[in-house]
């Protein structure tokens, strides 16, 4: 796979977050990760102390490890990855 790279373009994560973690702040910090350009969060279930959320991250080259580290810093627990979309891209040979 010379001069080729496989990048995550879209990922859908199901996660559990503390109720006190603000959705807007969480979406903004996820979007600040290198390679991420868009972040959508939907609340699917609410409990006394937690909310189950679906996080969709889109971008040209999403770094999953960076996204999961940010989530962990905000007390968010990843339950699973529901969808992932990757694409192969040519790297310039300079």
The pTM of the full predicted model, rounded to 2 decimals, is: 0.89
* Integer angstrom CA distances of residue 77 from 8, 17, 90: 21, 6, 34
Fold of 4-89: Alpha-Beta Plaits (3.30.70)
Q: What is the pLDDT of residues 20-65, one digit of tens each?
A: 999 999 999 999 999 999 999 999 999 999 999 999 999 999 999 9
Q: What is the pLDDT of residues 67-84, one digit of tens each?
A: 999 999 999 999 999 999
- For the chain, the structural domain boundaries read 4-89
pLDDT at 1 over 60: no
What's 48's DSSP letter?
Answer: S
The pLDDT-based confidence of 90 (bands split at 50, 70, 90) is confident
- pLDDT value at residue 46: 97
Buried b (16+ CB within 10 A) or exposed e, 39-50: bebeeeeeeeeb
């Amino acid at each position: 796979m010379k001069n080729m790279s496989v990048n995550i373009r879209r990922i859908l994560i199901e996660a559990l977050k503390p109720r006190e973690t603000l959705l807007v702040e969480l979406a903004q910090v996820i979007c600040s990760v290198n390679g991420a350009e868009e972040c959508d969060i939907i609340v699917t279930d609410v409990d006394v102390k937690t909310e189950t959320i679906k996080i969709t991250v889109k971008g040209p080259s999403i770094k999953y490890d960076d996204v999961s580290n940010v989530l962990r810093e905000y007390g968010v627990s990843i339950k699973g990855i529901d969808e992932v979309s990757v694409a192969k891209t040519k790297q310039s040979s300079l």
